[in-house]
Copies of this chain bind each other. A is one copy, B any other.
Amino acid sequence: MKFIIQKDYLVQSVQDVMKAVSSRTTIPILTGIKIVATTEGVTLTGSDSDISIESFIPAEEAGSEIVEIRQPGSIVLQARFFSEIVKKLPKDTVEIEVQNHLSTVIRSGKAEFNLNGLDAEEYPHLPQVEEENMFRIPTDLLKNMIRQTVFAVSVSETRPILTGVNWKVESGQLHCTATDSHRLAMRKASIEMENQDTYNVVIPGKSLNELSKILDDTNELVDIVITENQVLFKTKHLLFFSRLLDGNYPDTSRLIPNESKTDVVITTKDLLQSIDRASLLGEGKNNVVKLSTLPEGVIEVSSNTPEIGKVIEEIQSQSIEGEELKISFSAKYMIDALKALDSTEIKVSFTGAMRPFLLRSIDNDSVLHLILPVRTF
């Protein structure tokens, strides 16, 4: 294998596949990055066996040469060293050449590195995914859907299925739902698909976080292919594979109350900042704060940690309809939900102090957050 490549492309590609490489792996070769050079270009692969990322650098793009392939071939190089080396190379181009015994020379300017490689034949094969049935979402929408749900997955392994986000595809709509059993986040959107396939899978939260990091903020379409145990996200030069979680995701639809007793419409920022202040003196590790309705559309937010102090604040809402209410909840859950609601004004619907309450945008019903209160009153 021998090729000369534009450094910037190599650095970006290495950085992308590094997201899948873990230093803690039971399969030693997975601490490496697989490099395959063909006449079409160079493909890099990183994997921790849960997530696999493949990045392709074409030999030529828009008429200009990015890689000059001298000799096709392949090698696996230690990811940690290789990624640091390419970042620090002195010139704009890099020559990479595998010599005898897998020893690999990386040349740039007058700097010459020599890394001991591993045989690419021994690198595990990526999952085989049939690309017949797929659907498509714009990249920026996909990133938003991830951001607005993934924060609510469980961080505890008690119920492993809850560490993932439930993706349901039905009638041309994608529903993403995450819950840690104390709060729930749901986001739905229309998708482009050619058939009427339905899916119901659970994607690990970690995978979605990593995917979100390597996707650019463009509106180009991402192809998504779901199989029995894998999901593949495909952009122009990137393949992102994640395994799916085994098991049945709980039916969350029955958790969502259909009616409400108190409805508050309020400016998101006012509520967010007030809860944020109250959280400073919120009780316990969940920073419990209290919310009470007062006459004339005033909301009172308060918290109290007896040994430290207390805080009380009034905010003016747009409107309060229904019963009077006093309720306590985790400031953290509330802040997470308010940050995920990309809406200037929101509606909060309560069904009494002991029942879960809902947060929604007033403009549309594509996002929904549910929070379980804490019993203190």
Contacts and interface: CB of A to CB of B under 8 A. Distances in A.
Interface of A: 78, 81, 84-85, 88-90, 103-104, 110-116, 273-274, 276-277, 280-281, 307-315
Contacts of A78: 308
A311 B280 contact: no
A85 B280 contact: yes
Q: Lowest 10 A-B CB distances belong to which pairs?
A: A115-B309, A111-B313, A113-B311, A110-B314, A114-B310, A114-B309, A88-B277, A84-B280, A112-B312, A116-B309
Contacts of A276: 88
Contacts of A280: 81, 84-85, 88, 113
B277 A85 contact: yes
Contacts of A314: 110
Contacts of A307: 116
Contact of A311 (B112, B273, B281): B112
A223 to B, nearest CB: 37
A85 B281 CA distance: 9
Given A84-B280, A280-B88, A281-B81, A111 B310 contact: no
A308 B88 contact: no
A211 to B, nearest CB: 29
Contacts of A84: 280
13 contacts: A81-B281, A81-B308, A81-B309, A84-B280, A85-B277, A111-B277, A111-B312, A113-B277, A113-B309, A113-B310, A113-B311, A114-B309, A114-B312
